[in-house]
A = this chain, B = another copy of it.
Amino acid sequence: MNDVKGSGGGLPQTLAFRLGTLGAVVGDRFAGRIESYDLKPKHVGLLTALDRGAAASQQELAARLGVAPSLVVSLADHLERLGAVERVRDPRDRRRQVLGLTDRGRCLLADCAAEARALDEELAAHLTAEQREVLRKALGILAAEAGLPTD
């Protein structure tokens, strides 16, 4: 009458459980790979946001990333120390600090992308080409619905 393996009612089979647990594991492994660049996933998220849109104020970035503005400050501080972003005062409104990617930042981002692709190879080693493609596409749909970057 009930499920074979216990009382969870198949919790481990749900998308929510699998995405949540896998996301944590994959995030940790990605963090380990970018550690040598002195970056953490949130820094990469900020770089990605900058790479995808026009240079933006820190408040706009905070809204895009869904984090507090004060966190953008510390992320940007760190990235500025690395020479990956630069802050430019908006001459029309001198309160605004517009963040822009530097060449160094683009280079770092490319390095992170390469690390992610290498990690993909490890992760998907046992999937068929077709499974990989459907997986990538389906995750893209979910990401788009969640308002996350997709391209």
Contact = CB atoms under 8 A, between A and B. Distances in A.
Interface of A: 5-27, 29-30, 41, 44-45, 47-48, 51-52, 101, 106-107, 109-110, 112-114, 116-117, 119-120, 123-124, 126-127, 131-132, 134-143, 145-146, 148-151
A114 B9 CA distance: 8
A111 to B, nearest CB: 9
Q: Give the number of copies in the complex.
A: 2
A122 to B, nearest CB: 9
A39 to B, nearest CB: 12
B151 A113 contact: no
Contact of A142 (B5, B22, B140, B148): B22
A145 to B, nearest CB: 7
A11 to B, nearest CB: 4
A49 to B, nearest CB: 10
